[in-house]
């Protein structure tokens, strides 16, 4: 394996790990938001919204998935 392909593979693996972590952050945020709504806990709801947004932004900044012309993952 050449050095260039080894570096590319490590970058790709890192991007996959970041994608999974961002997805986990979104899921955790969505759960907190829903629980906050169900229990009337506005602070928990806002915390969930914030985490969900942060996860979404992390995914947008991560280039692991190819994008089509509309900007969404293919």
Please give the chain's pLDDT, 74 residues, in tens.
Answer: 567 778 788 888 888 999 999 999 999 999 999 999 999 999 999 999 999 999 999 999 987 666 664 555 55
Place of tokens 């260039």: 4
Computed on alpha carbons and rounded to an integer, the radius of gyration of the chain in Å comes to 16
* Cβ proximity of 65 and 74 under 8 Å: yes
The tally of CA atoms less than 13 A away on the side-chain side of residue 7 is 3
What integer pLDDT is reported at residue 68 of this predicted model?
Answer: 60
* Cβ proximity of 27 and 63 under 8 Å: no
Global pTM? 0.71
H or E element that contains 14: helix 3-39
């Amino acid at each position: 394996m050449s050095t260039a392909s080894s570096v590319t593979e490590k970058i790709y693996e890192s991007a996959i790990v970041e994608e999974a972590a961002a997805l986990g952050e979104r899921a955790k945020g969505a759960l907190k938001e829903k629980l906050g709504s169900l229990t009337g806990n506005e602070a928990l709801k806002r915390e969930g919204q914030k985490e969900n947004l942060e996860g979404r932004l992390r995914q947008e900044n991560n280039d692991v998935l190819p994008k089509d012309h509309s900007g969404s993952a293919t």
